[in-house]
Chains A and B, each alone.
Chain A
C-alpha cells in the first residue's frame, strides 16, 4: 500500500498567517492526490483534487501543488473558520490511502 506522510502533525498559527502543509508519498503517484478538510465533529470535505484543482465553493485562499512524491497545501491567509484537520489522500491505486492528518489551530 502507498504510504502518505504529512508534516507537521499539528500547527498553531495566527489569523492572516500563511500556512503550508506537506504530504509525501512512499512512491510516485503523479497528480493523483486530493486534500480534505475536516472540521471538528464534521465529515470531511473535498478541497482539492488532482493535486491542484480547487473544488467549486472552496475559498480561493486555499491552493495546492505537487506531483510525484511531494505535495503541498497552502492557506494564503489563515481565517478562524479554517480550524480543522487537513488530510491528503492518494487515488493512484487501490487501496486509496490517507495521510495521518494535520491539525490546524488558531493562536
Chain B
C-alpha cells in the first residue's frame, strides 16, 4: 500500500533552518510528483512547492522562493524539504503528499510539526 512517512517533530529558534524528510513506499517513486503543504495552527492548507523525482523539476510558491529547497534521494525513495531563515509564523504542520494528477494529491504523509521558538 502507498505510504508516505515523515520525520519527527522539530523545534528551531528564529533564524535557523529545518529539514524534513518524506519516505515513500508502495509505488514507483519516480512516477509521481511530491508536493509540500503546510498548515499553521487553526489555519487552512498552504501549498509550498513540488518536486518531480523523475526529472527533478521543481515548482515553488512565490512566497517561499529563496527560502525553500526540495531534493530527492531516489536510492531511498525520500524527498527532503528544507526551509531556512525560520520565523515564528513558520510554526506549522508540514505535510508531504503524492500528486495523482497535476496539483491533486491522493496520498499524504502524517505531517511533521515544526515549532519556531526562542
Interface residues of A (CB under 8 A from B): 34, 36, 43-46, 49, 55, 87, 89, 91, 94-101
Contact = CB atoms under 8 A, between A and B. Distances in A.
Contact of A49 (B97, B104, B108): B104
A99 B109 CA distance: 20
Interface of B: 35, 43-47, 59, 61-62, 95, 97, 100-106, 108-111
A46 B44 contact: no
A97 B104 contact: no
A96 B47 contact: yes
Name, among A43, A55, A87, the residue most crowded by chain B CB atoms within 10 Å (CB to CB).
A43
B104 A46 contact: yes
Nearest to A56: B106
Contacts of A91: 101-104
A99 B44 CA distance: 7
Contact of A43 (B35, B43, B104, B109): B109
A94 B103 contact: yes
